[in-house]
Chains A and B, each alone.
Chain A
């Protein structure tokens, strides 16, 4: 079969909603796109542990402490499921992580913003996980089998993440004026970065068309962003929080909310490493890897010794 024939057969499978599995033939670019997207997603889970992790020791009561710990732990699990999906494409976890540490691979820019107050933790659960779930639910039907299966598992587990965030904000918004102000402040700081999570607008998105054709992505960035805004407005109203956008209003003709243009300069600056916490986040991950090296080596050495003893 020629390359062109293989590509046609491949696209036919995709069009018929047949999942692609690890050993199937796939175009190199499909593989590369997947490695890039899934690893970026995995890195986001892992780096995303850091801003919330900072608050584990400061959680205001034991129930919240356990919930936060369990949530951040889930994120480690989700990163792991996704690294496993990347491994099925022939790229080892260590390689993938090295690409993050060298700056070659990216992660979601939202985690380059600081978590400053306890209200930020609820807001991250509600808005950031809410935005992520919007994306992830769509990805449960992505064309690559291991990725889709990881997403199904992740979505199942994540359903508590957004709810716990919202519940935590409910407490603040029905609490003292000080608590309510803390919640509004968090909303003000996280709203725009949350909208930026969906990536550049479709007009500026380099990989979008081909990814949609291959059904790696099922919706465009702008479609998902719009769905998120539409879903979130009513949730904010119930909390009694104001969305920091004077132009936010229902557009009857479109059947959607209109909202202001995102500050794309900020978006690109943060992507390029100039966000408030880029350096700290990456440094923390590199440190964990370097300081863990002797632990990993020890276990490997032990396993070798035992295997030798057994065969002796």
Chain B
């Protein structure tokens, strides 16, 4: 029955100048032009955005959940990448 279901699109919205586009949800649309128009009507009814990106969901490549440990945990031990790792005397300013 579901021969003509429109593709799924992911919607990203920039809420104001200076901020990143952020994922807000998805919708169905037959093509990119209508996906943008649908995103405007579905996701910016309350002035939530000034710019919209849409990406067909099948075009998104994601990390594999089974590889999450090897992908992300190694950075947990590199605490020297964070400023709090270092001690500076109390009197030092602007640092």
Contacts and interface: CB of A to CB of B under 8 A. Distances in A.
- A contacts B directly (C-beta below 8 A): yes
A296 B6 contact: yes
A93 interface: yes
A80 B27 contact: yes
Interface string B16-46: 0000000011111011001000000010011
A30 to B, nearest CB: 15
Interface stretch (A31-39, A52-60, A297-305): A297-305
A296 B8 contact: no
A98 interface: yes
A81 B25 CA distance: 7
Nearest to A93: B28
B1 interface: yes
Q: How large is the interface on A (under 10, 10 to 19, 20 to 34, 35 or more residues)?
A: 20 to 34
Q: How large is the interface on B (under 10, 10 to 19, 20 to 34, 35 or more residues)?
A: 10 to 19
- A-side interface mostly: helix
Interface of B: 1-2, 4-6, 8, 24-28, 30-31, 34, 42, 45-46, 62, 65
Contacts of A81: 25
A112 interface: no
B46 A94 contact: no
Contact of B45 (A77, A293, A302, A306): A77
Contact of B46 (A95, A157, A296): A157
Contacts of B8: 87, 92
Contacts of B65: 23-25
B49 to A, nearest CB: 13
A93 B8 CA distance: 10
Interface string A52-85: 0000000000000000000001100100110010
